[in-house]
Structure 1
Amino acid sequence: MSFDSPTDSDPQDGAPRPSKTQRKQEMHALQALGEKIIALSESRRAKLPLSDDLLFAIEETSRIRSHEGRRRHMQYVGKLMRREDLSAIQAVFDEFEQESQRRDHAFHRLERWRDRLIEEGDPAVEAFVAVYPDIDRQALRQLIRNAQRERQRDKPPTNARRLFKLLRDTAEL
């Protein structure tokens, strides 16, 4: 004896249809993805494989001021998201995340270089110059000396910031 009603399965292939709760969860997930897309800068949004209808709806969102109007519009964006290639969109978001992680790792590496240069002085300068031979050595040494003096006198790290900026510019980040 089966308790399934005729509406619990799809008549074409016999597969069970998603429950109302599942459909609502999927819709909320699509709306959340739409919010993430809206929050992106225009240059990043241009990299996403989006349809013209969805792009128009996303641009329209910025003009809606009413809370209720925005909520309804986000439901519409979620509805349009159903027609999009979600795996391609997620792949681009993953690429953004990887790019951000690479940039963060590079910044952390430069922060370690800065700290090492301030703490060790000339031996660290020679090691850094071996990796980045195009750096202005005189400016590098001057900023290191100034940053060391700042640390000794417990002053704000103005020159340490300038040193980091020089390292960042040299590494072209």
Structure 2
Amino acid sequence: MSQFDDFPDRDDDEEYVKSKTDVKKEMAALQELGAQIVELSDKFIARIPIEGELADAIHQARGMKHREGRRRQLQFIGKLMRKAENIEDIKTAYDRVISIGQEHTKIQHQAEQWRDRLLEEGNEALQTFVDEFPGCNVQLLRQLIRNTQKEQSQQKPPTSARKLFRYIRELIEA
């Protein structure tokens, strides 16, 4: 017989009472979510369904520089998050915003890799790129590559390299 036999097994019908530790973990998680939302740009915050006092608190925290004041403001945001009725919507929107950022970073990296490859490998890489992105303007692409190589050899500012990068990124996004 175990020392835990004195405690009845919990039935699925019984209402589960959260332990103090579970409540504290949830509070800390909501406060952390609030702190992460504060760190987002205005463009991304606009995509998250926060309103009223919570939205005001988040915008105030973004402007705070004083360490202790900001910490207290983040605690206040956590308290407001616990009271919010649409917390699942906020979490879902935050996850969506983060995935958008990750997708953008992935596209940036692909564009950088293609630009470097096109500049180093020449016609082989160009043919591979055209095969992968058939909607590209080959003549424009060749011109941008030539101009970028010329700029690099003359040690000029990378104007054409930026144009090449933008063009490649647009093709990848499309």
CA distance 1:33–1:106, shift in 2 (3 Å): same
- Structure 2 residues without counterparts, runs of 5 or longer: 8-13
Equivalent residue number for residue 115 of structure 1: 116
Deviation (angstroms), 1:94: 1.9
Question: Does structure 2 retain, via aligned residues, the 8 Å contact 1:132–1:171?
Answer: no
Residue 137 of structure 2 is aligned to residue 135 of structure 1: yes
Instruction: Among all aligned residue pairs of Structure 1 and Structure 2, give the percentage whose two residues are the same amino acid.
Output: 38
The correspondence of residues 59-70 of structure 1 with structure 2, limited to 5 A, is 59-62=59-62, 64=64, 66-70=66-70
Residues matched between the structures, number: 161
Partner of 2:102: 101
Q: Judging changes above 3 Å, is the alpha-carbon distance between structure 1 residues 145 and 66 closer, same or farther for their aligned structure 2 residues?
A: closer
TM-score using structure 2 length: 0.68
TM-aligned CA distance change 1:65 to 1:161, over 3 Å: closer
Assess if the C-alpha contact under 8 Å between 2:47 and 2:97 holds in 1: no
- The 3 A distance-change label for structure 1 pair 120 and 60 is closer
What's the TM-score, normalizing by structure 1? Answer: 0.68
The answer as to whether partners of 2:107 and 2:169 remain within 8 angstroms in 1 is no
- The equivalences for 1:49-60 within 5 A come to 49-60=49-60
C-alpha contact 1:48 1:89 (8 A) present in aligned 2: yes
1:36 partnered with 2:9 = no
User: Which protein has greater RCO, CA pairs closer than 8 Å, 6+ apart?
Assistant: 2
Q: Structure 1 CA distance, aligned partners of 2:60 and 2:130? A: 51
Structure 2 counterparts to residues 70-81 of structure 1, below 5 A: 70-81=70-81
Deviation of residue 114 (structure 1)? 2.1
Alignment partners' CA distance in 1, 2:30 and 2:16:
23
